[in-house]
């Protein structure tokens, strides 16, 4: 049975289970804002780790400080009045949640691969800022290991899925002839954009333009997947031709307006456009959904239309759950061993003291012993104490030490 003795580990946040993308995008933080938050918590001597993805914004921490109020204050500061959208988990439930997230079992696209890298980056940011504890290090390292095992050892990892690949699959389903000769425009040059380019390449798309404010920066990525790097000034002309527009940038506000899309459609009234916004915050103005000739999808639409969980094979989920249980048990044993360490150290110190005292008493009664015989008495006393303590030590390591928290 997994108990995690005296585990002070917590998570609070919103996800695609509890909040629409219109809510989740309000929690978006820039790298500078994240660094400021972590620096403040480090100065206060507190632990904190913030995970922000297209699916979730979650804050993890260890210790007595309650970050739920901090999270609710953040929501209010951003104009949100939330009730059931914010979820909190504590102790073992929080650990299990992190493992499930790392395995891709809690994503909009079941088994998606991008979440592992996102957790790793969030963890690295916390470690660099000094806001993780030894306990958090163990938990996040174990969760990342579990996520890798799920992808390596189960069928969920044989056909890697992602939001990017799901977007391309959705677009491919709109045309019976696939991407054959259709002009495609991709905005962005990060991990999600790379996933889009890879999936487009696999689907045989040949007329792909990768748009970035710095086309030189995007050129290596475009070349790797057979796309053409283009500058931001080229976007209006490209959209006037495009039949598929996929936006995956890290901008804090819309970079494609309804007016821009309306102008693009006016230049080609006979053809439809599929536009998919993979960004959080959304980077395509939502009002564009009302424009004639445009099918605009955001992440919530993608989840509703793709429904990957419904088609997941039961055997794959069972295998993934087995891996998670094994890794949770391994983490449990590690934390129990750490919890028992202070008592074990004290127990062995007292044992050594008893052995020394009893050997001294015996030697005082046997003054005529040779040096070799005196050594045998000393060794016997030490061996006797160690043999008595061994099963006790093993039991403490396996059961943990109630009331003895893991080292911070």
Task: State the pLDDT at residue 289.
Answer: 93
pLDDT mean over 46-50 = 94
Poorest-pLDDT segment among 30-44, 128-142, 271-285, 328-342:
328-342
Provide mean pLDDT across the span 10-37: 91
Given the structure tokens 């099963």, which residue do they identify? 391
pLDDT digits (tens, 9 = 90+) for 256-270: 999 999 999 998 877
Quickly tell me which residue has 């094994």 as its tokens. 326
Q: How far apart, in whole angstroms, are the C-alpha atoms of residue 309 and residue 329? A: 26
> Distance between alpha carbon 147 and the CA centroid of its chain, in Å?
9
At residue 332, the pLDDT reads 87
Q: For domain 163-309, is the CATH number 3.40.50.620?
A: no
pLDDT of residue 310: 45
The per-residue DSSP string of 378-408 comes to HHHHHHHHHHHHHHHHHHHHHH--TT-PPP-
Residue 161 DSSP one-character state? B
pLDDT at 61 (0 to 100): 96
The C-alpha atoms of residue 290 and residue 53 are separated, in whole angstroms, by 27
Do the domains 163-309 and 9-160+313-336 match in fold? no
More confident residue, 362 or 120: 120
Q: Give the model's pLDDT for residue 4.
A: 63
User: Active site includes 329?
Assistant: no
What architecture (CATH level 2) is domain 9-160+313-336?
A: 2-Layer Sandwich (3.30)
54, 57, 62, 306: the catalytic one is 54
Mean pLDDT of the residues in the chain: 86
Rounded mean pLDDT, 271-277? 91
CA angle 205, 246, 262 (to 5 degrees): 115
Where do the domains of the chain lie? 9-160+313-336, 163-309, 341-388
Q: Is the pLDDT of residue 408 over 60?
A: no
C-alpha–C-alpha distance, residues 209 and 197, integer Å: 10
């Amino acid at each position: 049975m997994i108990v995690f003795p005296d585990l002070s580990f917590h998570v609070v946040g919103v996800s695609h289970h509890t909040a629409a993308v219109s809510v989740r995008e309000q929690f978006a933080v820039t790298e500078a804002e994240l660094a400021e938050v972590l620096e403040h918590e480090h100065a206060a001597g507190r632990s904190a780790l913030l995970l922000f993805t297209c699916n979730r914004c979650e804050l993890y921490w260890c210790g007595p400080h309650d970050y739920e109020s901090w999270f609710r204050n953040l929501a209010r500061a951003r104009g949100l009045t939330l009730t059931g959208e914010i979820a909190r988990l504590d102790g073992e439930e929080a650990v299990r949640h992190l493992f499930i997230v790392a395995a891709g079992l809690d994503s909009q696209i079941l088994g998606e691969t991008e979440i592992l890298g996102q957790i790793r980056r969030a963890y690295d940011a916390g470690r660099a800022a000094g806001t993780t504890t030894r306990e958090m290090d163990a938990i996040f390292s174990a969760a990342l290991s579990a996520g890798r095992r799920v992808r390596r050892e189960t069928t969920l990892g044989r056909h890697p899925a992602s939001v990017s690949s799901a977007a391309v699959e959705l677009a491919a389903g709109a045309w019976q002839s696939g991407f054959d000769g259709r002009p495609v425009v991709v905005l962005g040059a990060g991990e999600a954009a790379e996933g889009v380019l890879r999936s487009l390449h696999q689907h045989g798309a040949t007329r792909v333009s990768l748009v970035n404010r710095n086309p030189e920066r995007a050129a290596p990525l475009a070349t790797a997947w057979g796309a053409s790097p283009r500058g931001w000034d080229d976007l209006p002309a490209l959209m006037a031709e495009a039949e598929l527009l996929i936006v995956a940038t890290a901008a804090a506000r819309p970079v494609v307006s309804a007016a821009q899309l309306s102008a693009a459609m006016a230049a080609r009234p006979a053809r439809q456009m599929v536009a998919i916004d993979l960004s959080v915050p959304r980077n395509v103005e939502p009002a564009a959904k009302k424009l004639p000739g445009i099918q605009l999808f955001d992440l919530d639409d993608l989840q509703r239309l793709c429904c990957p969980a419904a088609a997941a094979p039961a055997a794959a989920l069972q295998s993934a759950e087995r891996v998670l249980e094994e890794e949770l048990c391994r983490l449990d044993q590690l934390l129990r061993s750490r919890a028992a360490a202070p008592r074990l150290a004290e127990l062995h110190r007292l044992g050594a003291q008893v052995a020394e005292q009893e050997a001294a008493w015996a030697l005082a009664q046997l003054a005529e012993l040779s040096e070799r015989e005196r050594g045998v008495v000393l060794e016997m006393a030490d061996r006797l104490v160690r043999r008595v303590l061994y099963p006790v030590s093993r039991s403490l390591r396996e059961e943990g030490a109630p009331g003895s928290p893991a080292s911070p």
